[in-house]
Structure 1
Amino acid sequence: MKILHTSDWHLGRSFHGAGMLAAQAEWLDGLVGFVAENGIDAVLVAGDVYDRALPAVDVVELLDSALVRLVEAGARVVVSSGNHDSAVRLGFASHLLERGGVHLRTRIEQAADPVLFPLGDGAQLAVYALPYLEPRLVAPALGLDGGGHTAVTQAAVARARADLAIRRSEGTVVSVIMAHTFAGGGAPTDSERALSIGGLDVVPLSVFEGFDYAALGHLHGRQALSESVRYSGSPLAYSFSEARQAKGAWLLGVGPEGIASVEPVGWPTQHRLALLRGRLEDLLADPAHAAAEGAYCHVTLVDAERPERAMERVRTRFPLAVALAFEPEGAPRERETSYSARLTAARSDLDVCSGFLEHVRGRGPSGAESAALVEALEAVRLAEASA
């Protein structure tokens, strides 16, 4: 049996103000083609199907078309909700869709309700797909009196593990668990939204022990935290920190004895990023940069003085240049002071708010102001999660 582990499609996302729906549609075309050509039996999507809780109509239509085409190509699809998704909206009509081969897991009550696939010789594959677990919303349902991401993930996984133990007592079962979380040892990028305001709540890999494979989502770089715990990463680069990453998915070969193979796979798209550095005139003339002419570019100029109309001139050769920085050679690195630069460097919503305060008044938030911001951001995040 062949399984494709994907995640973080973020349908509807923009890149530095440019819509990415055409690039995402191109990637989905490649996904459907890969599934059909390689006889893929199941496609896993480990959260963040959409980029927003309220996706636009054309974004919903793109997902609808992709799911229909994947099923027509011969695959069943297992989708769990991520922190960017509205679990309620994504889970609409889940019972009806399940009859057509699309299995949506958006509620904590489904933690011990695996999607089952026959493996032959009486063996089964059980896929336990956990939705994104917002601690303050799901802790009561899990019988917890508070706790962070680690506590709620342990409790949800324990439910899946208990169901798996019963099934294994009755026959041969190979297990996959899907989760959308920040696991220990994972390398983040600039394009992920922080899962906890004011700090990180990292889930240890030991939480996933007892399962043959953990298909994780949330981090956008494809990476293996262990042989059996992996992030597929996002299908496209969503920040310049991902410019040199290989994008795609993990292809799993599964048999009655377990996970037989795991290999990285991918397919080309027109969405490309380039990091350029040099003097303006050199960048405009050097034929070595020809490949960047059709890519989204982050350009760092090292001229001794800032050239006039720098971005305008850069775009005469690199029309998709979206970010421009100045670092004169031989001079101390210039401090970025523009608000747009602060937004680019921000790693969380709290960073954005703090950067805005520092930009407009010359100093960051006080302790009391930081606490108020954290409280306000938590309220907004909880409202989104429960929408």
Structure 2
Amino acid sequence: MLALHTSDWHLGRGLHGHDLLPAQAAFIDHLVEVVRAESVDVVLVGGDVHDRAIPPVRALELFDEALSRLRDAGTRVVVISGNHDAARRLGDKSGLIDPRIRIRTDPATVGVPVVVEDADGPVRIYAIPYLEPATANALLPAAAAASPTGTDPTGTDPTGTDPTGGAASATFSQAATMRRAMRAVRADLDGHPGARSVVVAHAWVTGGAGSDSERDISVGGVGNVPSSLFDGITYTALGHLHRPQAITPAVRYSGSPMAFSFSEAADRKACLLVDIGRDGVRAVRGVEVPTGRRMAVLRGTLRELLTAATFAAHEGDFVSAVLTDPVRPDDAMATLQRRFPFALRLAHEPPAGAADDRSFGERTRGRTDLEIAKAFVAHVRSDPSPRERTLLSEALDAARIAEEAA
């Protein structure tokens, strides 16, 4: 069986105000091309399909289009919800759509596999959506309470929560909740000795390296799930972390298909082709996702960034600039965008000893309220857009009129 592992599409997400939906549509085109070219049997989507609980209409339409096109390309699709998704919304039509498309968002179904047949027999795919400990434990199947043959290799819960996974436990960690889910998986596998198995899950597994664009899913400071929970599973397709990485040879993150923060600028985004043979995983191969617009972090004085030939290759990139001028230049972002029209972020790091040690009053003396407000926004984020400048001006005018009326 050939599976294509992908996750964290975050449809509808922007990048510092820049619309990424056209790039996400191009990724769907790429995904369909890979499915056709490689004759993929099943596509595994490890959660965070959308970026927020109520996605833009265009993002919903793109997801529907993706499912239809993947089905028409001759593959099956198994999708789980992530912590960014609204599980009920994502899975509200799961019982009505084509049986080749499975959207799993209900913790009660974690022990019910999607079975895919190949020349070597069945592969049992267990879809475990993101499990919020505060709510998921009451929904997990009764089989999660214990493994009938004791095949759970993980022992007691190291977090100090109820090791039996019983519903009476007052608090649960991510590890304890996932442990209960995996007991349900193993309870089903106990009835199918020697079966090949795949788990699709959305979690932060211990040893995984994060980036700046993931939302923290820790509860009470305990968010990591031990990789040993997946021991004995033929392949575990993980979602949540945006960097592609292997926790073990059989437990992997595909990563997000595009960078959502400048901390991922150097990452090579990919989907994973997983070849599962009669005796287990034969090979895992990354298929690089084409990058429409690269990311670059540039450092130097404003003059250097505007004139140095070494930066010419980045004029079409998304740019995060770190200015090293002794004093932050006025209108730095607007000036920078003359050369780098896709400059999105600006930081100021003056050389040691060059910081402006004047008082706030000295630094703002002679400047209008609007100039001070614009400078503040630029200092804590980046230069305000023309629309934001208009809003600042209107707010200051309204405050002045109200003060005069009083």
* Counterpart residue type for residue 18 of structure 1: H
| Secondary structure of 2:338's aligned partner | helix
> CA offsets per residue over residues 154-185 of structure 1, 9 Å max, x none?
001110111012122xxx52111111111100
Q: Structure 1's 130 and 42: CA in aligned 2 closer, same or farther, altered over 3 A? A: same
Deviation at residue 224 of structure 1 after TM alignment: 0.6
In terms of Rg, which structure is larger?
2
Give yes or no for contact 1:304–1:329 (8 Å, CA) kept in 2. Answer: yes
What does 1:272-287 correspond to in 2, within 5 Å?
272-287=294-309
Residues 142-161 of structure 1 mapped to structure 2, 5 A cutoff: 142=140, 143-144=166-167, 145=169, 146-161=171-186
1:96 is displaced (CA, Å) by: 2.4
Listed as ranges, the gaps of 5+ residues in structure 1 are 345-387
Find the counterpart in structure 2 of residue 183 from structure 1. 205
**Cα 1:285–1:229 shift into 2, 3 Å:** same
1:334 is displaced (CA, Å) by 8.8
- Specify the SS of the correspondent of 1:78: strand
Give how far 1:333 is off.
7.8
Match of 2:156 in 1: none
On the 8 A contact 1:124/1:256 being kept in 2, the answer is: no
1:43–1:281: structure 2 CA closer, same or farther, 3 Å change rule?
same
Stretches of structure 2 that go unaligned for 5 or more consecutive residues are 141-165, 358-374, 383-406
Superposition deviation, residue 41 in structure 1: 1.3
| Per-residue CA distance 1:42-75 (angstroms, 9 max, x = gap) | 1100110011111121111000111111111121
Cα contact 2:323–2:347 (8 A) shared by 1: yes
8 Å contact from structure 1 (residues 26, 269) kept in 2: no
Which residue pairs with 2:190 in the alignment?
165
Q: Distance in 2 between matches of 1:331 and 1:5?
A: 50
More helix by share: 1
Other structure's SS at 1:12 match: coil
* Distance in 1 (alpha carbons) for counterparts of 2:251 and 2:356: 41
| 1:297 paired residue number | 319
Partner Cα distance (2:321, 2:227) in 1 = 38
| Amino acid corresponding to residue 308 of structure 1 in structure 2 | D
- Map residues 95-134 of structure 1 onto 2, 5 A cutoff: 95-99=95-99, 101-121=100-120, 123-134=121-132
Cα shift at 1:228? 1.0
Question: 2:208, 2:352 → 1: CA distance?
Answer: 36
Q: Which of the pair has the greater relative contact order for Cα pairs under 8 Å at 6+ separation? A: 1
Superposed CA deviations along residues 215-258 of structure 1, whole A, max 9, x for unmatched, are 11111111111111111111110011111111111110111111
Report deviation, 1:340: 7.6
Rounded Cα–Cα distance in structure 1 between residues aligned with 2:329 and 2:237: 48
How many residue pairs end up in the alignment?
A: 338
Amino acid at match of 1:110: T
Q: Does 1:11 align with 2:15?
A: no
SS at match of 1:97: coil
Percent pairwise identity: 45
2:242 counterpart residue number: 220
Cα pair 1:116 1:125 within 8 Å, conserved: yes
> Closer, same or farther in 2 for the Cα pair 1:150/1:20, shift >3 Å?
same
Code of the aligned partner of 1:77: V
RMSD: 2.1
Alignment of 1:209-248 (within 5 A): 209-248=231-270
State the partner residue of 2:82: 82
| Matched residue type, 2:203 | T
Q: Is the 8 A contact 1:212 1:259 kept in 2?
A: yes
Q: TM-score if structure 2 supplies the norm length? A: 0.79
C-alpha separation in 2, matches of 1:222 and 1:193: 17
Shift of 1:341: 7.1
Q: Using the alignment, how far apart are the partners of 1:11 and 1:304 within structure 2?
A: 40
Is the 8 Å Cα contact of residues 327 and 334 (structure 1) preserved in structure 2?
no
Given that 2:243 and 2:267 are in contact with CA atoms closer than 8 Å, whether structure 1 keeps it comes out as yes
Deviation per residue, 1:326-380 (Å, 9 max, x gap): 1123437899x96787689xxxxxxxxxxxxxxxxxxxxxxxxxxxxxxxxxxxx
Q: Could you tell me how far 1:273 is from its partner in structure 2?
A: 0.9
Post-superposition Cα deviations, 1:252-309, rounded to whole Å, max 9, x if no partner, equal 0111111110122113131321100112222112222223111111001112332232
Q: Name the CA distance, whole Å, in 1 between partners of 2:85 and 2:325.
A: 44
Amino acid at match of 1:167: H
Whether 2:97 is the aligned partner of 1:72: answer: no
* In 2, Cα distance between equivalents of 1:202 and 1:333: 40
The one-character-per-residue Cα deviations of 1:73-107 (angstroms, maximum 9, x if unpaired) are 121110001011111111122122242x1111110
Q: Is the 8 A contact 1:182 1:201 kept in 2?
A: yes
Letter in 1 for 2:192: R
CA contact (8 A) 1:217 1:233 kept: yes
Judging changes above 3 Å, is the alpha-carbon distance between structure 1 residues 264 and 110 closer, same or farther for their aligned structure 2 residues? Answer: same
- Partner of 2:333 in structure 1? 311
